[in-house]
Copies of this chain bind each other. A is one copy, B any other.
Amino acid sequence: MKRVLVTGAAGMIGRKLVERLSGDGQCDLTLHDVVSFGNDGNSVVSDLSAPGEAEKLVAGRPELIFHLAAVVSGEAEVDFDKGYRVNLDGTRLLFEAIRKIGSSYRPRVVFASSIAVFGAPFPEAIGEEFLNAPLTSYGTQKAIGELLLSDYSRRGLFDGIGIRLPTICVRPGKPNKAASGFFSGIIREPLAGQEAVLPVPESVRHWFASPRAAVGFLLHAARLDSAKLGSRRNLSMPGVSATVGEQIEALRKVAGDEAAKLIRREPDPLIMRIVSGWPQNFDAGRALALGFRADASFEDIIRIHLQDELQKTAPPPRGLA
């Protein structure tokens, strides 16, 4: 049995990752989150940024660590102290706890980074050598996590890989107030027969991955031969680049005109301004060469949502079934 630690295990991606890991039956799982969740045998509820908590989590010397715990973008922007405490200090304390165990312990660490490490102005497609110049505190904290991960890996303190997740779409659950929420909302709500608000023009382009693809990235990162990474241990994940217009067209194809008609245009200058600073398209050639696989199309992203969340019948997605 492989000893595996997952931080942020109660989050949306965390829960789906844990489901996959549990299904394999090959893992001795330790699940961590700051909020109480389920009653799995080996779950720990604690604040990773509190003194001593990271040490407790790695005391069992997990061979594989998925570090997903983070305060999300919007909250890190509103609450400066909390964002830096959890996203920067929490990450550093985890890395330090690993280091302090000593040279006989060198786990694989998979760090969930984000395309928020990039900030406008952008080239047409963001390549692997493009500057990390984040325009949010969340992106700053993730970029710092990447730098620490590289340095700790270079020094042989652990074997790290950072993966920059695209915007996850379709996020299951209720609408939230994140500025990016509409990207999922305009698909999720119409599929449930409900109206959705679109605050930006159809020309807005963004970079997407389904929750299932995101879990696939994490699992692939866990088993990747890190010798192939060289010194650059942080990678932009492949995704689907789609305009809002293309999203709506895909919805129409999968669920018909009646679904697409549930999208109500209500331009919001604030959201338009925020979104204009976000990445639109990537050259993820390096991740593709290393075997990471994106969703095949935005239509497939919608079908995955139907299959995984709504258990509706839909044609199986290509490549990710």
Contacts and interface: CB of A to CB of B under 8 A. Distances in A.
A80 B140 CA distance: 23
Interface residues of A, number: 23
B147 A143 contact: yes
B134 A131 contact: no
Interface string A130-159: 111111010010011001101100110000
Given A119-B231, A137-B155, A147-B143, A130 B132 contact: no
Contact of A132 (B137, B147, B154, B155): B147
A155 B80 contact: yes
Contacts of A129: 123, 130-131
Nearest to A89: B92
Nearest to A83: B151
A86 to B, nearest CB: 15
Interface in A220-266: 231-232
Nearest to A122: B129
B155 A133 contact: no
A63 interface: no
Contacts of A47: none
Contacts of A135: 154, 231
A105 to B, nearest CB: 16
A128 B144 CA distance: 19
A279 to B, nearest CB: 14
Contacts of A128: 131
A16 to B, nearest CB: 30
A281 to B, nearest CB: 16
Contact of A140 (B134, B137, B150): B150
Interface of A: 80, 119, 123, 128-135, 137, 140, 143-144, 147-148, 150-151, 154-155, 231-232
22 contacts: A80-B155, A123-B129, A128-B131, A129-B131, A130-B131, A131-B132, A132-B132, A132-B147, A133-B150, A133-B232, A134-B147, A134-B151, A135-B231, A137-B151, A137-B155, A140-B147, A140-B148, A140-B150, A140-B151, A143-B147, A144-B144, A144-B148
Given A132-B147, A135-B231, A140-B150, 8 more contacts: A123-B129, A129-B130, A130-B131, A133-B232, A134-B151, A135-B154, A140-B148, A144-B148
